[in-house]
Amino acid sequence: MGVAVEKLDIKKYLREKQKIVVQALDELMLPAEGVFADHIRAMRYSLFAGGKRVRPILCLAAGTAVSDDGGVEQSLLPVACALECIHTYSLIHDDLPAMDNDDLRRGNPTCHKKFGEAEAILAGDGLLTYAFDLLSNPAHGRGLPDTSRLAIIHTIARAAGSPGMVGGQALDMAAEGRKIEFDHLRTIHRSKTGALITASVLAGALGGGADESQLAAMRRFGDSVGLAFQIVDDLLDVISTTEELGKPAGSDEAQHKATYPAFFGVENTRQLAEQAVAESLAALERFDHRADPLRALARYIVDRTR
Amino acid sequence: MGVAVEKLDIKKYLREKQKIVVQALDELMLPAEGVFADHIRAMRYSLFAGGKRVRPILCLAAGTAVSDDGGVEQSLLPVACALECIHTYSLIHDDLPAMDNDDLRRGNPTCHKKFGEAEAILAGDGLLTYAFDLLSNPAHGRGLPDTSRLAIIHTIARAAGSPGMVGGQALDMAAEGRKIEFDHLRTIHRSKTGALITASVLAGALGGGADESQLAAMRRFGDSVGLAFQIVDDLLDVISTTEELGKPAGSDEAQHKATYPAFFGVENTRQLAEQAVAESLAALERFDHRADPLRALARYIVDRTR
């Protein structure tokens, strides 16, 4: 396994898959024309504002890891795009004045700075709803049985909703400016960021026809990767420059946000990230070489801090 | 048909179905407990703030109209509740300061007045997402085949999203304070209000196993009822008192909003409402007595203006 991971050029893999995802998003997203053109333009602005496309790529890689069908990636593209729509909507709403009040996202004006607050709320609502449109669209149903599609929809809705991402953002808002325990920080991370990452992996695995024991392993993988991802994000906020991040570095500290480095210091936090990645790799032990992209993705996440 | 409509006591029917829907909402909605209790409390506040439950009841009545199965209403309850979640989320977001900036809804403080703006945005996001959770939840799948469930999800997502309700709200915001043509007003109505009403009828019909020609008739029925509903809403804003409406009467006029009465005057508007109801009844011509509740609902809508 170790050898195969070394062989896979993760940066090249990411570039390839990002290109595939962006192209699919462009094809599958509503065109900015007709009576709703202005509204759709605001959605497309945020959807194509860059981003690593981590969730769609995790979804595609998880599908590939459990399936012998060469067409699984193609079948999963609408699912991958739906995940990116949900992630993008969450960024738009999180950036709103009533929430984190951020003016910049990936170096560009945030959606409400560009289009106004009402349009940004609606762009978010539109992207969230369109995710479920994509997931249920009969035109995109080729290759995935109805039962799998329903399971994918439910997995994503649960993770993106009040028991997951939305609830996590509510906890995060409520915790602002307050001193919180580490356990509570973990709950916020798990729900706000972790749930949708795990759902991305599970959605891919479900689309690839994973059995119960594979799904359980994929859930462990997703949970650990999500944790690693969040720890690294906290870390990057401390150790990066504003230019590298595309948003003000050190903003967590300036806002007195509870973070891993604030609890444990930078070096211990780095070790915790390594540990989370190791756990994610352990969850994939019984998978063969087809899971190598997933393994490389997990390693890549923690390597971003070097 | 005329006789049967007379026989059905629509007010009693509405009270019965409202009770069933509210009870189902209470059972199917997340409980306000655990770590997300505050967030869920905001969702439940708006969900149980009253309301006529028109969309869920249209859904149940459409299912009954096409099905011999006495259990169809029970099977459709999660769908009916999902429709009410979506309607409620749209009210919460429409009331926000960046949108219509309303302090009162059905005589009570709006969600953001009660819980703050961030919590209201998230309550809306949570309700919208939970609708798709309900629609895809395997625990609620009894009675409806997977293919029908996917068709219901897609019908609702399309109607609630950017090509429907969300897009309509974006048009409505953009039209504020501007003079618009009547055609544009119709487009706003059709997308902002009409689409989800038609989808409610179609979702019920799909759950009841309607064939293609029945679905086409139900679409005509839904479109006409939705139109009647919107015309009557415009009319009520002009002819009612603030107390009756639970929100400031005449607010459309005060905000120089384009409405049916502003274009045609009160008497002509009343006739247009009657005409839309007549068209909705015509769409149901080939349905038997099982469609009587749908017919009575259509009549009831226009009777609210007397």
> Is pTM, for the whole model, over 0.90?
yes
pLDDT grade, residue A245 (50/70/90)? low
Q: What is the structure's pLDDT at B303? A: 83
pLDDT tens string A285-299: 999 999 999 999 999
Radius of gyration of chain A (CA): 19
Q: Say if the Cβ atoms of A93 and B154 lie within 8 Å.
A: no
Query: For position A237, what pLDDT does the model report?
Result: 84
Residues 115-154 of A with CB under 8 A from B: 116-119, 121-122, 124-126, 128-130, 132-133, 135-138, 141, 146-147, 149-151, 153-154
Which of A38, A126, A135 lies closest to B166 in CB terms?
A126
A253: pLDDT confidence band, cut at 50, 70 and 90? low
Residue numbers in A near B157 (CB within 8 A): 129-130, 132-133, 136
What's the whole-number mean pLDDT along residues A77-88?
98
pLDDT of residue A114: 98
- CB-based contact B121 A121, cutoff 8 Å: yes
Split chain B (306 residues) into runs of 10 and give each run's mean pLDDT.
Answer: 62 97 98 98 97 96 96 97 98 97 95 98 98 96 91 98 98 92 95 97 98 98 96 87 58 71 93 96 97 96 73
pLDDT of res. A303: 83
> Pick the residue with more confidence: A164 or A1?
A164
Among B153, B162, B169, beta carbon nearest to A153:
B153
pLDDT band at A306 (very low <50, low <70, confident <90, very high): low
Q: Is the pLDDT score of A6 beyond 60?
A: no
d(CA B197, CA A64): 41
Both tokens of A194, joined, read 């972790």
> Of the ranges A19-33, A134-148, B14-28, which one carries the lowest mean pLDDT score?
A134-148
**Domain at A2-303: CATH architecture:** Orthogonal Bundle (1.10)
pLDDT at B75: 97
Name the residue ranges covered by the structural domains of chain B: 2-303
Q: Which chain B residues are Cβ-neighbours of A141 within 8 angstroms?
A: 150
Average pLDDT over residues A150-165: 98
What local confidence, expressed as pLDDT, does residue A238 receive?
Answer: 85
Average pLDDT, chain A: 92
Query: Is B157 close to A36, i.e. CB distance below 8 A?
Result: no
Contact call for A171 and B117, based on CB within 8 A: no
> What is the structure's pLDDT at A7?
72
Facing B40 at nearest CB: one of A150, A158, A162: A162
d(CA B168, nearest CA chain A) in Å: 8
The pLDDT value recorded for residue B2 is 42
Q: How confident is the model at residue A9 (pLDDT cuts 50, 70, 90)?
A: very high
DSSP states of chain B: -HHHHHHS-HHHHHHHHHHHHHHHHHHHSPPS-STTHHHHHHHHHHHTS----HHHHHHHHHHHHH---TTHHHHHHHHHHHHHHHHHHHHHHHHSTTTT--SEETTEE-HHHHH-HHHHHHHHHHHHHHHHHHHH-GGG-TTS-HHHHHHHHHHHHHHHSTTTHHHHHHHHHHHTTS---HHHHHHHHIIIIIHHHHHHHHHHHHHTT--HHHHHHHHHHHHHHHHHHHHHHHHHHHHS-HHHHTS-TTHHHHTT---HHHHH-HHHHHHHHHHHHHHHHHHTTT--GGGHHHHHHHHHHHHTT-
